[in-house]
Amino acid sequence: MFRLRRSINCDHNATTPVSLGVRKAMVKELAGSQANASTPYREGRKAAFLVSQARLALAKALTAEPESLIFTSGATEANNCLRTIAKLLPSDRRTIIYNPMEHPSVLEPLKLLGSEGFTLIEAKPDCLGRIEADHLRELWTVQVSLLVMMAANNETGTFYDLKAIVRLAHERGALVFSDMVQALGKTRVDLGALEVDYASFSAHKIYGPKGIGVLYIRPGAPFAPLIVGGSQESGLRAGTECLHNLAGFGQACREIPGLLEKIPDLRRRKEHFIDQIKAELPTVRINTPSGEESQPGTVSLTLAGFENSHLLGQLDYHGLEVAAGSACRTGANEPSHVLLAIGLSPEEARSTLRVSFGHNLTDGQLKYVISIFKMILSGRESGAITVVRPGELTEELVFSKNISIIHIKRYPKFKGPSPLPTSRVIALGDKVAWEALKPSGPLLLTCDVGYDAPIMAWSLKRRGFKELSFLAAGLWGLKIAQPDLWTRLRSADNYALIKARDHIDAP
């Protein structure tokens, strides 16, 4: 039996829905000639004009010179330019100070630079993710020539005082690279006043399309292209321009003033949400600075006694989309590096949710969100799904004829632990296989890390499945909790037991 689904996206830091205006601009562009902007004839010149209009819209939104902006395939690519920028630093000053709460698209290039001989100095955030210029001053050495500091953190919502940080770096002759993805649309961005040297942005965080971003390079700052080929973007980033994405990004930028107007209401709603959660669960820990020190719609909550993976499934069951960390890391085994950096234990990190409301959240929607959170946190939600702790799984259960086991693979080619020998494997995104699955007796869901099994269990419950259970903490959790069982399950003797089962492949 299907239930009516009310859906409220509370995960706007992962991405935002494309606005109506953006959609219209993109469709108009797709319906046009889609000429190559590098060609000289009329349609090509029209395409080049569109590129310049998008650049102007962006320049206006960022208070920057149009010539200082190069379009990229997203912020990930813009952040990867760190790799070429760093190579231009003086050879005797190859030390970089960075914020350990950066997005993986910053941390991974930095790691590569570290392996290539650069010295990396990690700043230490406080328990709300803040890093003051005074702390950076203490870390400073004469070899530092680059400071990498985001403008807003995607998990805690913390804003950084970039102005003071840039001033400090410039006084010491260092450059500043800032991932400003999570600041745009959530606070006024004025690159001219900020004087940061490099900044990255992404369209899909401001109700624009995915697959397009921009790198700002302050006039005069050294730069070498990461992607070479044709002479697009003044030779600084090769590749034929994606016109519909550019049309969408330009329009999203034109809509930024409207987003900024909504900030006070968004902040008021977030604060009301926090107050209501505190009233229900006084032990909640808020990892987000209050007031103007954080993004208006974001809050990170540590809910002791609750596992975020299970909460994600329960909330999804009621149509609420929230995150357990950053969307880019949900497939990973480790707890969020951001939460560990602010001092949470791995246990606390696994009890932490990120809620990020959108600018269009209404009071009515918020009321529903609060009612669902309260129902779950107070234990009033029926516990119809059985949680099998990694320490509780037995051989009997694994080889029982009375239960079907499905192992969920997040990425079909991703190396993970081998599934339980009696399980059928279904990829998380295999819609056809999931839809073909019909309720037929008890079902145990497993996954690698522990995030996908609960969410799919709650999703199957919506479809009328009963007698559902899932393995908490995934197969990695089982390996840690019961190494002997783990080894036995891999032994050849098990084939006899597997054969004894008659419904292993039953969907």
Minimum distance, C-beta of residue 293 to ligand PMP, in the bound complex (Å) = 17
182 counts as binding ligand PMP under rule CB under 6 A: yes
Q: Does 294 bind ligand PMP (CB under 6 A)?
A: no
328 is catalytic: yes
Chain positions 139 to 178 lying near ligand PMP, rule: CB under 6 A, are 150, 154
Q: Quick one: which segment of 49-57, 68-76, 340-348, 407-415 binds ligand PMP (CB under 6 A)?
A: 68-76
Strands 213-217 and 69-72: antiparallel
Is 75 a binding residue for ligand PMP by CB under 6 A? The answer is yes
**Residue 12 contacts ligand PMP per CB under 6 A:** no
- Number of other CB atoms surrounding residue 5 within 10 Å: 9
3-state DSSP assignment of residue 298 = strand
The secondary element (H helix, E strand) that includes residue 388 is strand 386-388
CB of 226 to ligand PMP, least distance (A): 14
Nearer residue to ligand PMP within complex by CB, 157 or 419:
157
Among 37, 162, 166, 181, binds ligand PMP (CB under 6 A): 181
Asked if 74 touches ligand PMP (CB under 6 A), the answer is: yes
Cβ at position 206, least distance to ligand PMP in Å: 11
CB 113 within 8 A of CB 83: yes
The residue whose two tokens read 């609960």 is 454
Q: Are 129 and 287 in contact (CB under 8 A)?
A: yes
Stretch that binds ligand PMP, among 50-58, 71-79, 309-317, 464-472 (CB under 6 A): 71-79
**Matching residue, tokens 């081998």:** 418
Inter-CA distances, 68 with 35, 51, 173, 196, 203, Å: 25, 14, 21, 12, 17
179 binds ligand PMP (CB under 6 A): yes
Q: Does 248 bind ligand PMP (CB under 6 A)?
A: no
| Region binding ligand PMP by CB under 6 A among candidate stretches 72-80, 288-296, 450-458, 481-489 | 72-80
Q: Is 213 in the site for ligand PMP (CB under 6 A)?
A: yes
Sheet with 443-447: list strands edge to edge.
386-388, 468-471, 443-447, 404-409, 424-427
Count, residues near ligand PMP per rule CB under 6 A: 14
The stretch near ligand PMP (CB under 6 A) out of 51-59, 69-77, 244-252, 358-366 is 69-77
Return d(Cα 1, Cα 18) in angstroms, integer.
Answer: 31
**Distance, CA of 178 to CA of 113 (rounded, Å):** 17
The residue among 242, 256, 255 whose CA lies nearest residue 71 is 242
Query: Contact at 8 Å (CB) between 70 and 63?
Result: no
Catalytic residues: 328
